[in-house]
Chains A and B, each alone.
Chain A
Amino acid sequence: MTTERDDLPAGMTADEVSAAPSQATVEAANHEPLMVVRSLSKHFGGLVANREIDFDIPRNSIVSIIGPNGAGKTTFFNQLTGFFEPTSGTIVFDGLDIAGLAPNQVAKLGIGRTYQNIRLFKEMTVLANVMVGRHVRLRSQWFQALLHLPSVKREEAETTQRARELLDLVGLSRRYEDELARNLPYGDQRRLEIARALASDPKLLLLDEPTAGMNPGETAQMTQFISRLRHELGIAILLIEHDMKVVMGVSERITVLDHGERIAEGTPEQIRTDPLVIEAYLGKQATA
């Protein structure tokens, strides 16, 4: 019943998908970007939320999308994660076109995400939240669980172990693991959300405004943590941010959206001085 193998795109085996990105494969495929988006458009009726966007995410990099409110950043995000089906265009992730796949299929291929307004499983424990994140990497089926097979027990023990490691990694105290997620302080909820996303061994982590609502101290901590993640786990990270300081500090490349269109792309240095960007953010007078 829950054999998710049926969900895989043609030509993929379950093994290929579930294998964690080993260093060797990362090296071998280093020449092509992890994600290539070409002329992606999304229309809601007459409203054009994204128009012909081109976008690359190199492997093991941190790239960012910035733009004023309503620029279409979250719509773009939602297409990458399968929540919206693109009106036109392609999204190639690790050699596969994922445009139009369901969110659970996208997650299985190796894209994890967090949410602008934190969305944890509030009535579940901290540890269970992370263990749910690991769901796609587990194989035991319901009938195997019912038979209490040793393989199921082993898998559960490994999952618990892995979940605890991730809690350590994001800096959540073990003391919290049996606490309900909703009882955590705000900052820790953000960390937990990241731990949950990491539990699926993603190749690409999408962070939607990870520093929203944080004070400058917490923001600096989070910024550091993001670049640490990239180095320690060797994954690519895509950031959506409002806070220019965060973006400038950690990103290698920045894409600027405004009114659904890409108006600039480049290194933080280039973006900082781009007149179009300044205009979009500060209005016409600033450039004059």
Chain B
Amino acid sequence: MNEGRRPVDARLVLKRATGMGAIAGLAGVYLSLVGIVERFETRNVVTGVVTLGLLTVAIAILVAAFVAPRPPRAWGMAEPSRGLKLAASVLAGAAAASVLVLFLIAVESLDLRDIFPNASSSLSRILSLGMDGPAGWAALAALCLAMGSIAGGLHALRPRDRQPLVAAMSAVLLVSLMEPFLNNVFLQLRQNALASFIYERSGLTIPAALIVFVVVLAVAAFETYRGKQARERVESLPAPTRRNAKYVTLFFVGVLLLVLPHLMGVFLSEVVGTVGLYMLMGLGLNIVVGYAGLLDLGYVAFFAVGAYATALLTSPASSLGLGLDFWIALPIVMVIAAITGIIIGAPVLRLRGDYLAIVTLGFGEIVRILLLSDALRPIFGGAQGILAIPPPEIGDLRLAGPVNLYYPILAFVVLGAFVAWTLANSRVGRAWNAMREDEEVAAATGINTTNYKLLAFAIGAVFGCVAGAFLSVKIGVVFPQRLDILVSITVLSLIILGGMGSIRGVILGAFVLVGLPELLREFAEYRLLIYGGVLVTMMLLRPEGLLPNRSRQRELHEEHDAEETQYQQRAGGDTGAPVISSP
């Protein structure tokens, strides 16, 4: 494993760790100055023990101290010893501590509030863990050093031991952050006792935190140690049994999805409905960007066309005044969508990469400005938009309100995922992928690139327009302000977060990037900051996304296996087991 690499240069490793610790400290300063620390402090993670504000700083230090001791691959250096790794982690913690303590002293002794309104005494109280003067500085320094030591301790563990531990800690944080959601569900189910056992003042209670930690630790440990055998045993079951098991699982998932809005209540159904619209858009843009490789930054144009087309066709108050039924209007909207996709796609057929991105960005803005313009006010209603869009009806049932609208949105997301999945695994999907990889060769292989590009644009547009149609009936009005560039950016971000070309990724990405900010009001203010941070982190650490599609996932596994092999090799000497060098 280590042959061909130069020996460990301890000085270099420690120097890098110091730098990274200092950067983490500066990140903490930044989080404090933009107000995140103070704002998040109102949220408990484990009530009475940990609050979210200080935790954001602590996590930044923990991550930096964990990453710090591992030399970047480009250095071609052998893996440092555990002792050196621990030293580097602690050093990173110390570097962060010195930066943060200096900052704390500055906040306490100088009045920075003219420049940084958030550098208040309440901030210093949070950072000093509620203590005064030097005691507070010491407390902050101790916290940073503790984070460094924990990171170093994590390095001493084998990856398979470390992962369950990290999973369990993350799970506690996640369950705690889900408080507004889960608490609401429990109350909806009239499980008040359960709710107050698990949550207390917006955070987990101590016993609940312990239970979550232990359960997730056990499950994750089972998965890493026995997961392979368990999977193999499942695979060795006869095919009919496995198929039945699959159907039973699908059945339960289906039932859960159907009763979900009644469990969640109005507010959460509203949130999930919005997430569903972004899933639809994500699935559509994923076809254009992920499969066909056409970077479209103006996807909001289709969302807008769908919303306005639906409004014009169904609202009696619109300039057309048709007042069509939603279900009659929807197919018309889809046809309009496909035509719009081709109209926008045709002029950009010859453009690639950056140029395509810029031109589509322009198209998105053009659509918004046209809708807003005075010249077209008689048709689109200018800034006021179009009002009084009636909800869809099925027979006598009016699908008004978030709980009822959840169902058609769910149906279209399922349908959309099915369409995307089918196309991806067909001749069409292969042609798209080939075009993404090398357009010239794809053409020489016989793929009509013009047609396939237009097909991708048209199908992507239909997805976007259906999402737009549901937006218009969901809020009952459409106006241009809601249809700005941020929608395009959000949809693209959720695809990147989930993994380009991955359907599961789109679904997860929509929940994380659209659902979480709605639930966590504290985050809403910093939504764009967090988007940016998430995207940069993803590009650095996991460019293939959280749930990559199969082929990319394999590459990831190879790296993981390499690390495991390395540990096995070290252990090999003790057990006398044959040492297999990795290929």
Contact = CB atoms under 8 A, between A and B. Distances in A.
A1 B455 contact: yes
Given A135-B427, A142-B423, A83 B440 contact: yes
Contacts of B455: 1-2, 142
B446 A142 contact: no
B441 A146 contact: no
Closest A-B pairs by Cβ, 9 of them: A136-B446, A107-B446, A145-B426, A121-B437, A103-B443, A132-B434, A103-B444, A2-B451, A142-B428
A131 B430 contact: yes
Interface residues on A, range: 35 or more
A132 B448 contact: no
Interface in B17-37: none
Of residues A83, A136, A145, which shows the largest number of chain B Cβ atoms within 10 Å of its Cβ?
A145
A180 B441 contact: no
Given A119-B438, A138-B427, A146-B419, A1 B447 contact: no
Nearest to B459: A142
A218 interface: no
Interface string B409-440: 00000000001001100111011011001101
B442 interface: yes
B433 A128 contact: yes
A7 interface: yes
Contacts, number: 106
B452 interface: yes
A182 B441 CA distance: 15
Interface in B93-125: none
Taking each of B438, B444, B446, which has the highest tally of chain A beta carbons within 10 Å of its own beta carbon?
Answer: B446
A123 B443 contact: no
A125 interface: yes
B554 interface: yes
Given A2-B448, A145-B422, A124 B433 contact: yes
Contact of A107 (B445, B454, B551): B445
Interface of A: 1-2, 4, 7, 81-83, 102-104, 106-108, 113, 115, 119-125, 128, 131-133, 135-136, 138, 140-142, 145-146, 148, 152, 155-156, 159, 180, 196, 200
A120 B449 CA distance: 17
B554 A132 contact: no
A1 B427 contact: no
A146 B418 CA distance: 9
B447 A104 contact: yes
Given A108-B446, A132-B445, A124 B551 contact: yes
19 contacts: A2-B448, A7-B448, A83-B440, A119-B440, A121-B442, A123-B433, A123-B552, A125-B551, A132-B434, A132-B442, A136-B445, A136-B447, A141-B428, A142-B459, A145-B423, A146-B422, A146-B423, A155-B427, A200-B445
A81 B554 CA distance: 35
Nearest to A140: B427
Interface of B: 419, 422-423, 426-428, 430-431, 433-434, 437-438, 440-449, 451-452, 454-455, 458-459, 551-552, 554-555
Contacts of B452: 2
Nearest to A78: B444
Contacts of B430: 124, 128, 131-132, 135
B437 A4 contact: no
A122 B552 CA distance: 12
A121 B427 contact: no
Nearest to B434: A132
Contact of A135 (B423, B447, B551): B447
B448 to A, nearest CB: 5
Contacts of B419: 146
A81 B434 CA distance: 18
A102 B442 CA distance: 12
B426 A152 contact: yes
B518 to A, nearest CB: 33
B313 to A, nearest CB: 24
Given A102-B443, A121-B437, 5 more contacts: A123-B433, A124-B433, A135-B447, A146-B423, A152-B426
Contact of A1 (B434, B442, B454): B454
A179 B437 CA distance: 16
Contact of B434 (A7, A124, A146): A124
B245 to A, nearest CB: 23
A158 B84 CA distance: 58
Given A2-B448, A146-B419, A121 B426 contact: no
Nearest to B458: A1
B80 to A, nearest CB: 29
Given A132-B434, A135-B430, A146-B419, A121 B448 contact: no
Contacts of B446: 104, 107-108, 135-136, 200
B412 to A, nearest CB: 15
Which of B434, B445, B552, B555 has the most chain A CB atoms closer than 10 A to its own CB? Answer: B445
